[in-house]
Amino acid sequence: MEYKDYYKILGVERTANKEEIKRAYRKLALKTHPDRNPGNSKAEEQFKEINEAYQVLSDTDKRSRYDQLGNSYSQWQQGGAPAGGFNWDEWFSTKPSGNVRVGGIEDILGDEFSEFFQRIFGGMPGMGSASTRRGSVQRNQRSALPSYQQAVTISLTEAYKGTSRRIEVDGRRFEVKIPPGAKTGTKVRVANTVPTGVSDQKGDLYLVIQVAEDPRFTVKGNDLHTDVVIDLYTAVLGGEVTIQTPSGSVVLTIPAGIQPGQSMRLASQGLPRLNAPNNKGDLFAHIKVKIPHNLTERQKELFLELRRS
């Protein structure tokens, strides 16, 4: 099995703090996001790899385990990489239990986390991904019949539009609808699916939703926030810019004299509310002004005239 250097994938130092890791992830994810690279399989693979690295390095427990593994692997390499290979067995996470399998439908992250991720982190608590081929199933003892939970990751676009997941339980296949407005922590019940060992009675399965970070937006409740970069001339004179929303591109009209840091509210362009999909939050566009570099002599003269006027 190949060792994956998540720090190298994100282009950060091993001492990087969470904010540095998040900034690096957002920059790379924006560059390789499938919406910006339609039909580009290489960019899609890079996007998945970047997300995998962020899944680990942004989580304190996973990062600690990964750093311990990295130190051990480095020592093995410095010892000349002796024959027999690196001893992966002592680093494999507890094998998931149960026989519930969850597969994605049009999931931007797919079911394709690397073998390295699945073997090292697949059985850890809070994995929050549908990528494990045999998901971790947790028993809830509070009811007469046991119920089970399976973590499932969906993209922000899926949270906006709603999506589906295929599940397989003891050879039986189900397609489970995840409604628009599902958030991290939302539970979708699949009744009477998991054998309990109590006669022929079956327990319930709950898909516990985890919404993956989207490099384009910051989520606050049902509202979304995004940065919009405009040039100086548009800021002074006004104009139009095209921005992304979860439902697609829209044209935003910039008023003349807008100030850097000012926000514009796009009503009902945020995430839908669970069980009320027509009731959406808002999208807030935060204006950033790009100051021109390398002005021509004529441009400098014009700015000087403006300053004197």
H, E, C per residue of 247-298: CEEEEEEECCCCCCCCEEEECCCCCEECCEEEEECCEEEEEEEECCCCCCHH
Counting the structural domains of the chain, the total is: 3
24 and 136, same domain (yes or no): no
- pLDDT of 107 reads 34
pLDDT above 90: residue 236: yes
Q: Which of 27, 57, 88 is the last residue of a domain?
A: 88
Q: What is the mean pLDDT of residues 204-227?
A: 92
- Give me the residue label for tokens 């969850």: 102
d(CA 178, CA 210): 12
Instruction: Name residue 274's amino acid.
Output: L
Q: Are residues 129 and 210 in the same domain?
A: yes
Q: Work out the pLDDT band at 6, boundaries 50, 70, 90.
A: very high
Average pLDDT, the chain: 82
Q: What is the arrangement of strands in the sheet containing 263-266, beginning at the earlier edge strand?
A: 218-220, 223-231, 283-290, 263-266
The answer to whether residue 300 sits within a structural domain is: no
Q: What is the mean pLDDT of residues 93-97?
A: 42
Statement to judge: residues 228 and 185 lie in one domain: no
> Is residue 166 situated within a structural domain?
yes
Contact 148, 100 (CB under 8 A): yes
Angle of CA points 197, 202, 208, to nearest 5°:
115
What is the average per-residue pLDDT within 89-111?
A: 47
Indicate if 225 and 278 belong to the same structural domain.
yes
Place of tokens 């539970």: 187
Quote the percentage of the chain above a pLDDT of 90. 42
For residue 103, name the pLDDT band (cuts at 50, 70, 90).
Answer: very low
Count the neighbouring beta carbons within 10 Å of the beta carbon of residue 3: 14
Structure token pair of residue 33: 């996001």
Last residue of a domain, one of 214, 233, 251: 214
The pLDDT score that the predictor gives to residue 79 is 75
Residue 5 pLDDT > 80: yes
* Residue 68, domain extent: 1-88
Domain identity same for 101 and 201:
yes
What does the alpha-carbon distance between residue 32 and residue 43 come to, in Å, rounded to a whole number? 5
Q: Is the pLDDT of residue 147 over 90?
A: no
Look at residue 296 in the predicted model and tell me its pLDDT: 92
On whether residue 75 sits in a domain, the answer given is yes
In the predicted model, is pLDDT for residue 33 greater than 90?
A: no
One-letter identity of residue 157: T
Instruction: Report the first-to-last Cα separation within the chain, whole angstroms.
Output: 69
pLDDT value, residue 245: 94
Establish if 21 belongs to a structural domain.
yes
Query: For position 121, what pLDDT does the model report?
Result: 76
Closest listed residue to residue 244, CA positions, set 221, 213, 270, 222: 270
The pLDDT value given to residue 88: 75
Mean pLDDT value of segment 97-110: 40
Integer CA distances (angstroms), 309 to 236, 298, 302, 306, in order = 16, 17, 11, 5
Residues 134-169, buried b or exposed e (16+ Cβ, 10 A)? bbbbbeeeeeeebbbbbbbbbbbbbbbbebbbebeb
Q: Strands 248-254, 263-266: parallel, antiparallel or unpaired by DSSP?
A: unpaired
Mean pLDDT of 245-268: 95
Asked if residue 3 belongs to a domain, the reply is yes
Residue 257 reports pLDDT greater than 70? yes
- Asked if 194 and 241 sit in the same domain, the reply is no
- For 263, counting Cβ atoms within 10 Å of its Cβ (0-12 exposed, 13-18 middle, 19+ buried), the class is exposed
130 pLDDT more than 50:
no
Same domain, 250 and 238: yes
* pLDDT in the model for residue 225: 97
Distance CA 35, CA 56 (A): 24
Q: How does residue 127 score in pLDDT terms, banded at 50, 70 and 90?
A: very low
Burial class (CB in 10 A: 0-12, 13-18, 19+), 205: buried
Token reading at 41: 């399989």
Residue 306 lies in a domain: no
